Amino acid sequence: MFHDFSHSGSPISDQTEIGRAIHSLATNLLAIDRPHFNNIADLIRATKFPHEKTKGLPSEAMILREADLTQSLSPIWMQQVVFGLSKEMRLTPVEVLRKQEEFLRGLSFKTAWVKEMFSSKIILSKIKETQGLFALLK
């Protein structure tokens, strides 16, 4: 579960989007999962961006948070990140693309699996891809 569940696609705060996700969770949760509602809601809250708390988060929260961040490194990142965020933030795709290098340079993963799957080499490759795309647009 990510905070993007029931995401509005509008330029509203992540805190509001998380509230919508938790409300949708409460509405759609199966009876068998109801005893776990508070734990699931806490996991969704941990994905709020920019991240506020890192120390003391349970492993499950770190995994979800980092899974959310790795969208920027996926093969279809242009659609998921650049075009998705441009609509949400009411920016042009070029403006969002311009911000990607700074975002990617700031990525720092904590969980062993994500560090292994998305090494600094992969992040640098995505930075170069971003720079190349931006250069084509100039």
* Residue 138, domain extent: 69-138
Co-location of 74 and 138 in the same domain = yes
Per-residue pLDDT of the chain (138 residues; tens, 9 = 90+): 555 666 666 777 888 888 888 999 999 999 999 999 999 999 888 888 888 877 888 888 888 888 888 888 988 888 878 888 888 888 899 999 999 999 999 998 888 888 988 999 999 999 999 999 988 887
Which tokens sit at 118?
A: 């998305």
Co-location of 44 and 77 in the same domain = no
CA distance linking residue 40 with residue 54, whole number of Å: 17
Please check whether residue 90 lies inside any domain of the structure. Answer: yes
Co-location of 122 and 90 in the same domain = yes
CA distance linking residue 62 with residue 56, whole number of Å: 10
Number of domains in the chain: 2
Co-location of 75 and 44 in the same domain = no
For residue 90, the one-letter residue type is: R
Co-location of 94 and 133 in the same domain = yes
State residue 4's pLDDT score.
Answer: 67
| pTM assigned to the model | 0.76
State residue 63's pLDDT score.
Answer: 87
